[in-house]
Chains A and B, each alone.
Chain A
Amino acid sequence: MWKRDEAVKPTSQPTPAAPVASNVQPSVPAVQQAEPRRIERDLVNIGKSVVIKGELSGSEDLTIEGQVEGKIELKEHLLTIGPNGRIKAQVFAKTVIVLGEVNGNVSASEKVEIRDGGSVDGDIVSPRVAIAEGAHFRGSVDMQKKGGSSSTSASTSSSVKPAPAPTVAQAAQPAAH
């Protein structure tokens, strides 16, 4: 009968069920070690049970799963409102991703995303806005352009495209007045 030699078992074998933080072993190569630590440092969470009333500001990316009332300011960073997040606040960030609920105006210098199940009641100001199917939104969207106001006359003339004929289900005809 073959007998396994425990001594030759590689020491860097991963332990999948173990949590990320405790998975770091001395024998793991340096590159593999660095990745979980970096993630740990960059992701800052406000947990489900946390309630904050007042002004919240920071200089790193933030995920909120709890409740915040007041003002949130992360001007150069990503703010994620998690599925459990409940926000009653004015929000200022570089990018805002909403999976939970926001009651208040949202201003982002880069992008606002309302994902499926996310809800925003308030006005959005951002150059890019993405609203997913299944998202709730009530308010206004102002996709301000850098470098002056935009007039529809220029954009409409350039946006006229030929009709994609094969997919058309019906043709229109003028009605008698």
Chain B
Amino acid sequence: MAFSDLFSRRRKDEPDLDTGAAKAPVHSTKVLAKFIAGLNGRTSPVLLDLGSVTGSNVTFFGERLGCKIIVEDLSKDIDRAVKEKTIPDLPAQFGRRFSQEDASVDGVLCWDLFDYLDKHAAAALARQIVRLLKPEGVVLAFFNTAEPKEPLPAVYTKHVVVDQAHLQYRPYPAARGKQKPFQNRDIQRMFEPLRITEQFLLKSQQREVLFRKTGGPAAGAGA
């Protein structure tokens, strides 16, 4: 192998997976600003992030917005389930996964996690989110609206907050690709009694959704 090949190979491998942060595309987002606005006025809001841990997001939500952040990276749970061939057990696992008390979280960042789940697992996770959310709490989630054309190998996306209107998408390896997209009515039913307060359809055929828990303190608790 020529000496120059070492460098060309490195260049080819680097940009797409995880380390290619600088080259990752930046996308606009409408719903993030609404999500942040939904946390307005709360003292030290508790934020549950179900995506992969990202240092700059921790800084953004922790330092700038004063949130207490709980990181529960569910992509690792999915990867483990794929490797151990326990995907059918995911709904039960999600039922046991969260040790937090009912109505203890002000906001949940789901990112595009639901795209990687089948119907039963997604419903189980949505039930937990409803249980954990405080009244008037908000949930941010992205849903793919088109049949997945998953690149090989499959990737998750790290959503890195650039500012309130922009997210950088950083792909990293996944053990499982995106699943069949959910219909709008399925999404609404999964998250009942949460209400969809904002919804945006991007040109990338991704739906950005903001849910809010309405009603009194008992709403949704113990669901």
A binds B: yes
Decide: A159 and B65 in contact? CB cutoff 8 A.
Answer: yes
Among A134, A139, A151, point to the contact of B66 (Cβ < 8 A). Answer: A151
Cβ of B21: which chain A residues have Cβ within 8 Å of it? 133
Decide: A155 and B66 in contact? CB cutoff 8 A.
Answer: yes
A145 to B44, CA, bound (A): 10
Cβ of A161: which chain B residues have Cβ within 8 Å of it? 163-165
Among A143, A159, A175, point to the contact of B207 (Cβ < 8 A). Answer: A175
Q: Mark interface residues in B21-33 (1 if CB within 8 Å of A CB, else 0).
A: 1000111111001
Decide: A140 and B165 in contact? CB cutoff 8 A.
Answer: no
Decide: B36 and A152 in contact? CB cutoff 8 A.
Answer: yes
Decide: B162 and A164 in contact? CB cutoff 8 A.
Answer: yes
Decide: A152 and B39 in contact? CB cutoff 8 A.
Answer: yes
A174 to B162, CA, bound (A): 21
Decide: B68 and A136 in contact? CB cutoff 8 A.
Answer: no
Decide: A169 and B42 in contact? CB cutoff 8 A.
Answer: no
Which residues of B, 31-47, contact A by the 8 Å Cβ criterion?
33, 36-37, 39-45
B200: nearest chain-A partner, CB-CB: A172
Given contacts A149-B44, A152-B45, A168-B166, contact A143 B62 (CB under 8 A): yes
Which residues of B, 182-218, contact A by the 8 Å Cβ criterion?
196, 199-204, 207-208
B42: nearest chain-A partner, CB-CB: A152
Decide: B40 and A152 in contact? CB cutoff 8 A.
Answer: yes
**Minimum CB–CB distance for A174 against chain B, Å:** 6
Decide: A137 and B53 in contact? CB cutoff 8 A.
Answer: yes
Interface of B is mostly: mixed
A170 to B201, CA, bound (A): 11
Cβ of A171: which chain B residues have Cβ within 8 Å of it? 28, 203
Decide: B63 and A169 in contact? CB cutoff 8 A.
Answer: no
Among A131, A143, A174, point to the contact of B63 (Cβ < 8 A). Answer: A143
* 28 A–B pairs (Cβ distance < 8 Å), ordered by A: A127-B63, A128-B63, A131-B54, A132-B55, A135-B53, A136-B53, A137-B71, A138-B53, A141-B58, A141-B68, A149-B66, A150-B43, A150-B66, A151-B41, A152-B42, A156-B37, A156-B65, A159-B65, A159-B164, A160-B33, A164-B163, A168-B166, A169-B26, A170-B204, A171-B203, A172-B28, A172-B30, A174-B201
Those 7 A-B pairs whose CB atoms lie nearest each other, nearest first: A150-B66, A175-B201, A131-B55, A143-B62, A172-B30, A140-B70, A141-B69
